[in-house]
């Protein structure tokens, strides 16, 4: 006769209380980690400082820790119970910031800069909550490690780089992620949102928006300003295109609505010509 382990028979509410024991006492330190990460954001594939903090925390808690997965990704593995007992659960948080100037006025606001892909210096900010995602997952891995007797299975904690550029997950899988680490039965992600503190929101199917990028070049016909009828001004074409794309839906529908939402982001228009001519 097989006797179930107490961790698998404990009522769900009791298990949740067990796994959150001691959490209030650890929140101040998690807040310090969050504020430190917010103060020092890093761009995609440049998350070396963040990755080092994550790896140090994982190792201190007894997780099998691998750095440099997909360039700057970090993976931690923690097992409880006999080999093969319980599910494999993947928990994921993203780490990178954005090339944005912070103007929040927070005492821990970022003043850091980095070199962007264009080779130019740029301010950096955690404007999408990845600092909080990392801090939250670090809190989870600590609770799981300290209450290892309360659960059975394998947890794979993934700290992913380059989410903002859409390249981080592909870089990690291209680095052999699925062969090097336990294959998950379920993957759980998280994202902050405009909800009251303490509220968790979910739904079947799609819950958050995504984006893809396409680069479009518009070609006009150059000419002299004295004969505008003989030219086709690409600057005017670009302005009209942006306005028409903008009117098609963004700003009128929330991201949770399933629909195609085209929008345009333009770089500064620099025709590189004189004020008396029209560019091509």
Active site (catalytic) residues: 96, 163
b or e along 143-156 (b: 16 or more beta carbons within 10 Å of the residue's beta carbon)? bbbbbbebbbbbbb
DSSP string for residues in the chain: -PPPPHHHHS-HHHHHHHHTTTHHHHHHHHHHHHHHHHHS---TT--HHHHHHHHHHHHHTT-EEEEEETTTEEEEEEEESSTT-S-EEEEEEE---BS----S--TT----EEE-TTSSEEE-B--SSHHHHHHHHHHHHHHHHHTGGG--EEEEEEEES-TTTT-HHHHHHHTTHHHHSPPPSEEE-----SS-TT-----SS--S------------B-EETT-GGG-B-HHHHHHHHHHHHHHHSBTTB-TTS-S-------PPP---S-TTEE--
Partnered with residue 236 across adjacent β-strands are: none
E strand or H helix at 23: helix 23-39
């Amino acid at each position: 006769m097989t006797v179930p382990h107490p961790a698998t028979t404990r009522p769900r509410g009791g298990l949740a209380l067990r796994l959150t024991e001691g959490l209030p006492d650890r929140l101040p330190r998690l807040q310090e980690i969050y504020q430190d990460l917010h103060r020092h954001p890093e761009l995609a594939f440049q998350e070396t400082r963040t990755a080092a903090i994550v790896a140090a925390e994982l190792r201190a808690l007894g997780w099998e820790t691998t750095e440099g997965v997909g360039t700057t990704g970090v993976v931690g593995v923690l097992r409880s119970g006999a080999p093969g007992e319980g599910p494999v659960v993947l928990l994921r948080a993203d780490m990178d910031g954005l090339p944005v100037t912070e103007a929040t006025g927070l005492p821990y606001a970022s003043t850091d800069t980095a070199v962007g892909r264009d080779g130019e210096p740029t301010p950096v900010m955690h404007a999408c909550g990845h600092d909080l995602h990392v801090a939250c997952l670090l809190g989870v891995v600590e609770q799981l490690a300290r209450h290892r007797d309360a659960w059975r299975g394998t947890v794979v904690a993934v700290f992913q780089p380059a989410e903002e550029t859409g390249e981080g997950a592909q870089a990690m899988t291209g680095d052999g992620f699925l062969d090097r680490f336990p294959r998950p039965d379920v993957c759980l992600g998280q994202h902050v949102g405009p909800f009251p503190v303490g509220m968790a929101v979910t739904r079947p199917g799609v819950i958050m928006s995504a984006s893809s990028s396409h680069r479009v070049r518009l070609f006009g016909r150059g000419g002299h300003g004295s004969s505008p009828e003989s030219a086709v001004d690409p600057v005017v074409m670009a302005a009209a295109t942006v306005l028409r794309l903008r009117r098609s839906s963004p700003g009128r529908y929330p991201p949770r609505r399933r629909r195609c939402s085209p929008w345009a982001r333009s770089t500064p228009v620099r025709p590189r010509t004189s004020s008396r001519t029209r560019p091509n």
